[in-house]
């Protein structure tokens, strides 16, 4: 007899169906414990290749490997019970050809049990997106500022701020939607362009620095919690976790130095021992008397 989970995890079609119904809530997540917390409030969680910057201190997302994404993807899937979990395909694992992209994306899905992958790039990813979707792999698109292309873009630069840039970005969105992407991330694009794309395509747009005109929003969790030292302009800090962590560590260090930690309540006392039994005595045997002769 098979047992089914009490709560069904959201899938790619569920996210698509939210367009024009409700705002879609999403965050990045890289750990089991943060995934379990965010799962209560988010429709999908993204295991973003931003982990390279916020967890490993890389300057860009380019050095992130497939193995890194799989390890953190497993952790997030274990923590989330309801939200769809999507995983970024890292730089160099999908651009070569649709078949290479399928091989790597299939590995990610099989080894993490995630519900989708995300690819950066517009028109150039149309064929690959269609190829993956036709073979059973849900794809989330990502256009506008695409961090994996940072060395070509010349920095983390916003997109679509002049109208002569609009047509190309609109075409990117249209091609991905027609190729079967179930949602498209719009990063750092101007609000009027985000609204235009959101109105034009049939799948949800997920904004990150693209205004409330999008169908949903996503932020890097460490950024919005106030844990990252430097954040983009579009981030609102909803917490001050870095300060809270430093306060806790400072207090811990002080308690260790003055020996007030660990206190008695933080230690394991001795177990009561049973009273010691008296030593056993052996019966006294009388030596036979010698007979005199």
Q: Which residues are catalytic?
A: 187
Report which DSSP code applies to 163. G
Show the tokens assigned to 23: 């705002």
136 near 179, Cβ under 8 Å? no
CB atoms within 10 A of CB 149: 14
Which is nearest to 199 in space by CA: 212, 218, 214, 184? 214
Q: Which uninterrupted H or E stretch holds 14? A: helix 12-17
CA geometry: angle 237, 242, 244, nearest 5 deg: 105
User: Quick one: which H or E segment has residue 17?
Assistant: helix 12-17
Q: For residues 115 and 261, what is the distance between their CA atoms, to the nearest angstrom? A: 45
Give 157's contacts (C-beta < 8 A, 6+ positions apart). Answer: 145, 188
Contacts of 270 (CB under 8 A, 6+ apart): none
Q: How many residues does the chain have?
A: 293
How far apart, in Å, are the Cα atoms of 122 and each of 59, 70, 97, 142, 179?
A: 24, 24, 15, 7, 11
Structure-token pair, residue 266: 């933080």
Residue 35: count of CB within 10 angstroms of its CB: 25
């Amino acid at each position: 007899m098979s047992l089914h989970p009490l709560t069904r995890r959201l899938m790619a079609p569920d996210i698509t169906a939210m367009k024009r119904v409700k705002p879609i809530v999403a965050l990045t997540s890289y750990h089991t414990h943060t995934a379990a917390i965010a799962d209560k409030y988010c429709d999908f969680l993204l295991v973003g290749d931003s982990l390279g910057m916020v967890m490993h201190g890389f300057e860009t997302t380019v050095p992130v490997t497939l193995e890194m994404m799989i390890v953190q993807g497993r952790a997030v899937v274990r923590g989330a019970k309801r939200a769809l979990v999507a995983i970024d395909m890292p730089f160099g694992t999908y651009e070569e050809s649709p078949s290479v992209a399928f091989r790597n994306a299939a590995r990610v899905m099989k080894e993490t049990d995630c519900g989708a992958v995300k690819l950066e790039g517009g028109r150039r990813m149309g064929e690959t997106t269609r190829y993956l979707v036709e073979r059973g792999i849900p794809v989330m698109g990502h256009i506008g500022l695409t961090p994996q292309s940072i060395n070509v873009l010349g920095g983390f630069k916003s997109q679509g701020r002049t109208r002569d840039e609009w047509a190309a970005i609109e075409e990117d969105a249209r091609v991905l939607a027609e190729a079967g992407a179930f949602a498209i991330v719009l990063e750092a694009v101007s609000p009027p362009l985000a609204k235009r794309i959101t109105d034009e395509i049939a799948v949800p747009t997920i904004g990150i620095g693209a205004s409330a005109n999008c169908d949903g929003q996503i932020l890097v969790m460490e950024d919005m919690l106030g844990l990252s030292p430097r954040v983009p302009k579009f981030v609102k800090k909803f917490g001050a976790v870095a300060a809270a962590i430093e306060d806790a560590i400072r207090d811990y260090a002080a308690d260790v130095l003055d020996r007030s930690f660990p206190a008695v309540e933080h230690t394991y006392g001795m177990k009561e021992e049973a009273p010691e039994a008296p030593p056993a005595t052996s019966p006294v045997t009388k030596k036979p008397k010698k007979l005199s002769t």
